[in-house]
Amino acid sequence: MCIDTACSLGFCAEHAAAAAMITAGENRIVRIVAVGRDGRILPPCGRCREFIRQLHPDNREAEVMVAPGVIVRLGELLPHDWLA
């Protein structure tokens, strides 16, 4: 669930899902797809990309659907990764 607020202090669904994973003792992500209210596929925002990346080194290789039929690695969305 995504919580959007007028002042940009919301909480993205990807962040919430990752937090639930951590609570369950998991931190490795293999695939990600985010869908907006209208059913449109959305790439994760920069905050979520960075958060997911930092949960586990292998998350750079996570497959991210950014549009229908278009899948890229998380590392491609973070081309200048300061942790690499």
The domain limits of the chain are: 13-77
pTM: 0.83
Count the neighbouring beta carbons within 10 Å of the beta carbon of residue 18: 22
Active site residues: 14
Span 3-24, pLDDT tens digits: 666 666 777 888 889 999 999 9
What Rg do the C-alpha atoms of the chain give, in angstroms? 13
Please give the structure tokens belonging to residue 64. Answer: 């991210």
Residue 11: which H helix or E strand, with range?
Answer: none
If we measure between CA atoms, which residue out of 39, 49, 41 comes closest to residue 18? 49
Class of the CATH domain delimited by 13-77: alpha beta
Span 20-52, pLDDT tens digits: 999 999 999 999 999 988 999 999 988 899 999
